[in-house]
């Protein structure tokens, strides 16, 4: 997960490591740590949508089908069109659903 501070913060990682997080300097974190940070610091950090390109494999959380993955066929400002692996039809999903891309 890619996160960005809305104001300067010091992140405390498991094991005691501390790293600064500055506005305008996105940081990639494992999903579980990113979600934990968003829950602990509402209004101080935000999740950034991952960069997705056509032809890239994307993984997302579908509210109906759980975790799915497919190749990105088209990318818009806030959505990605894929060939849905279960319905076997083109589907447009919000970038906010994207978990990780490869």
- Same structural domain for residues 38 and 64? no
62 shares its domain with 44: no
Give percent of the chain above pLDDT 70: 95
The model carries a pTM of: 0.54
pLDDT over 90 percentage in the chain: 44
Scan for tokens 């740590």, then name that residue. 33
Count of structural domains within the chain = 2
In this structure, the answer to whether residues 35 and 7 fall within a common structural domain is: yes
Q: What is the CATH number of the domain that holds 93?
A: 2.30.30
Q: Does one domain contain both 62 and 37?
A: no
Distance from chain centroid for Cα 90: 21
Residues 73 and 35 in one domain: no
Q: What is the DSSP code string of 37-79?
A: HHHHSBTTEEEEPPP--TT-EEEEEETTTEEEEEEEEEE-SSE
Question: Are residues 37 and 69 both part of a single domain?
Answer: no
Asked whether the predicted pLDDT for residue 100 surpasses 70, the reply is no
Rounded Cα gap, residues 42 and 38, in angstroms: 6
Which residues constitute the domain of residue 62? 57-101
């Amino acid at each position: 997960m890619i996160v960005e501070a809305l104001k300067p913060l010091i992140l405390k990682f498991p094991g005691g490591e501390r790293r600064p997080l500055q506005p305008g300097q996105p940081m990639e974190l494992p999903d579980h740590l990113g979600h934990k940070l968003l829950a602990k610091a509402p209004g101080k950090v935000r999740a950034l949508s991952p960069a997705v390109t056509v032809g890239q494999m994307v993984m997302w959380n579908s509210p109906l089908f759980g975790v799915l993955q497919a190749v990105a066929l088209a990318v818009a400002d806030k959505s990605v069109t894929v060939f849905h692996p279960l319905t076997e039809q083109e589907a447009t999903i919000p970038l906010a659903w994207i978990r990780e891309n490869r």
